[in-house]
Amino acid sequence: MKIMVKKMQKTRATHLGLTVTFVLLPMIHLYAQQRPIPVQPVSPAPVSVIGPQGATSTPNGAAATIAPSTYLLGPDDQITVQGPEMDEIVGKPYRIDPSGYVSLPMLGRVKAGGMTISDFEGQLNHAAAKYVRDPQLVASVTEFHSQPVSVVGAVQQPGAQQLQGKKTLMQLISVVGGFRSDAGNTLSIAREIQWGPLPLPNAKTDPSGEYSVAEISIQELLIEKNPQLNILMMPNDVVTVPVSETVYVVGDVHKAGGFLLGEHKDMTVLQAVALAEGIDGTSDAKHSRIIHHPADASQRTETPVDVKRILAGKAGDVPLDGGDILFVPGSLSKKAGLKTMEAVIQTASGIAIWRF
């Protein structure tokens, strides 16, 4: 009897153990799935976004332009500082004051004016060495204010202008009041080669090797036909807007004089006659001629042109270049006939008045 009781107790214990196991195993598995697994955080790497013409921007939005090694910092230039172990300083814009110093947390006033970026970084790291072993601070220019750009020629307010932040060519032209009415059809830009070549298709280096030069069509710039022409300006850029060339119309026309080509490269005979308000009735238009004056001041040349047939649409129009003279001669026979007619009219008028 005792043996049977022990067997029954042993059987119940086995069943209880199996029941507990089947109940606890799903719970343990569910707990293991829901329990978060710790992951070692990874610090994101700094990201720099490359902008136009060598400009870079950091995640905090500060834009920096790679200044040439010879660029000298000056008053109102804005700089940013980057580097490890100096969180109080890095990633913030700093303005150079009129005395040429920049005020930085911890480091105080540091000389910057008249220094290159490399020299200024040496000053920074020397001052930071009091707080950090072997500091590795680097500086970049985010705004150029101390270096001028010049606009000369046919603009409303020619002269030197200080760059206030980043300015495009059209913004610079707006600052000087726009083009004058006698502005030519192209402008030229000269940039110091230390800032790199001009980002224009026709840019070339001048014979001295110190400047990158290019020409831009004013008409294409104004109508935004090619937005790439509206480039960013750099310190010491020189923009030259030449005065427009002139075409002259003389002789038997209603309004003789000179007429500017303006934004156009050339003018036609028909356009020139229209600006001169047409030809006189006594003109010998079919014997007109174009007088060319070469730029090198060599001997002039003449080209015969039949203005009468051009006006009648029986001959093709003829282009005129800057400096050309369209001469429309008078007809001696027509003038003689006109004078005779005038004399007859005057005589007849006198007789009529005498009779009455």
Confidence of residue 205 (pLDDT cuts 50, 70, 90): very high
Confidence of residue 242 (pLDDT cuts 50, 70, 90): very high
Mean pLDDT, to the nearest integer, of 216-237? 87
Q: Which long-range contacts (CB under 8 A, 24 or more apart) does 106-115 make?
A: 106/131, 112/73, 112/77, 112/79, 113/73, 113/74, 113/75, 114/72, 114/73, 114/74, 115/72, 115/73
The better pLDDT of the pair 322, 336 is held by: 322
Contact 207, 173 (CB under 8 A): no
97: helix, strand or coil = coil
- pLDDT of residue 152 exceeding 60, the answer is yes
| Predicted structure pTM score | 0.57
Confidence of residue 32 (pLDDT cuts 50, 70, 90): very low
Query: Which residues are within 8 A (CB) of 345 and not within 5 positions of it... i.e. 6 or more apart?
Result: none
- For the stretch 260-304, pLDDT in tens is 887 667 788 898 899 888 888 788 888 899 988 776 666 788 889
Give the per-residue pLDDT at 332.
Answer: 64
Give the per-residue pLDDT at 150.
Answer: 93
Tell me which residue of 119, 138, 142 sits closest to 65, measured CA to CA. Answer: 142
Confidence of residue 20 (pLDDT cuts 50, 70, 90): very low
Identity of residue 96: I
- pLDDT of residue 259 exceeding 90, the answer is no
Confidence of residue 167 (pLDDT cuts 50, 70, 90): confident
Give the per-residue pLDDT at 345.
Answer: 61
- pLDDT of residue 335 exceeding 60, the answer is no
Give the per-residue pLDDT at 62.
Answer: 44
The full DSSP string for 219-241 is: HHHHTTSSGGGSPBP-TT-EEEE
Alpha helices in 111-182 (DSSP H): 117-128, 169-175
Dihedrals φ, ψ of 301, to 5°? -125, 160
Give the per-residue pLDDT at 188.
Answer: 95
Confidence of residue 343 (pLDDT cuts 50, 70, 90): low
- For the stretch 40-65, pLDDT in tens is 333 333 333 333 344 444 434 445 55
Identity of residue 72: L
Identity of residue 308: K
- For the stretch 169-193, pLDDT in tens is 999 999 999 999 889 888 999 999 9
Give the integer Cα–Cα distance in Å for 317 and 276.
Answer: 16
Identity of residue 64: A
Element (H, E) at 189: strand 186-192
* Distances in whole angstroms, Cα of residue 232 to Cα of each of 54, 116, 188, 194, 314: 11, 22, 14, 15, 50
Q: What is the mean pLDDT of the chain?
A: 77
147: helix, strand or coil = coil
Confidence of residue 94 (pLDDT cuts 50, 70, 90): very high
Give the integer Cα–Cα distance in Å for 2 and 11.
Answer: 14
DSSP class of residue 45 equals P
Q: Residue for token digits 């042109």?
A: 305
Task: Tell me the chain's radius of gyration from C-alpha atoms.
Answer: 42
Tell me which residue of 333, 305, 325 sits closest to 256, measured CA to CA. Answer: 325
Tell me which residue of 244, 91, 72 sits closest to 147, measured CA to CA. Answer: 72
